[in-house]
Structure 1
Amino acid sequence: MTPGRILPLFAACLLAACGPSGPVGNAAVPPPAKSVEIERYLGRWFELGRYENGFERGCEAVTADYSLRRDGLVTVVNTCRAGGIDGKARVAVGRARVVAGSGNAKFKVSFFGPFLGDYWVLDHAPDYAWSIVGEGSGRYLRILTRTPTPSGPVRRCIESRVRSLGYDVSMVRWTRH
């Protein structure tokens, strides 16, 4: 195969690998429900649950740490424990930028190169105790909390909100901490 044919094939395969895959858990993802105050969103989040995806397969004790950079972008540090809560830590560092006109509720995130993914804060608690994150395809969902194991009433409230946004809660993989 000539180099002229290899590059488009490589690019197509890479884009397919980076794009959303897996079953659709929400065929009609709504736009974010409210604006996000970036300063209040920063800090550590614990993943309560997610739609399973390739880059987190087998992960437990998942955390996401967000901090503001001098250039206005947000540093994203995702950490998980491979195979169990005491497994080896896997860390991915990326950057995110706010999508203009989104009320700070939509971001473009990159963990490598120029490839960007959508990160939509679909809803969050008034006190930023929990957050529901998705994107337009309905294949990606993360439920984040500020504590590793929220109380039963808080968890039920979040699950109810996830359902009301149109997500299939039976597809959620609950994260152990």
Structure 2
Amino acid sequence: MRSAAAAALVIPCAAQAQEISNVKSLDIAVQGAIAQRCEMGDIPSTDFGDLTRPGKFAAVRVAFDCNVPFTMVIKAQNGALAHTDLPNGQGPYAGAVPYSLDVELPVRRPTAELISRAFDSRSLAGGQSISSAGGIAIDGLLLRLSLGHVASEAGLLAGQYGEVIEVTIAPN
């Protein structure tokens, strides 16, 4: 059965070879498109509770997928966890807690690499950017916020403290 099938294949090939000699060229046009997409999952709010305890941190893995190279811009509203009414403090008491934000961003270009950046809270007040350096993101990202030390010997002013950190993704 196999030899009959092989013979059947050889005969049409010989006939096609004679027909090809009359062909000068053949062009096939193929095209398509993929839309740019950058999507980021929700970043949950974090409550540190008592801010006087040292060494507090929060880490969160965030879903992140971007099929084009991109730039991530991170900007903080206050540049510290700031007292809601008296961010500059009062008397000997401080009104702000500095922090650091570490970002780990896996990218592919075409091999897998890890972009890591660390920012202090004051620098984030003016905004900071991270370039994917031609890479794309498919494995999410890790954000780690660590509270720093308060410079005031008296400690922190009583009350509520907060910060808003905005993360913006722009395809390049």
TM-score (normalised: structure 2): 0.23
Higher relative contact order (CA 8 A, sep 6+): 2
- Greater helix proportion: 1
TM-score (normalised: structure 1): 0.22
Larger gyration radius, structure 1 or structure 2: 2
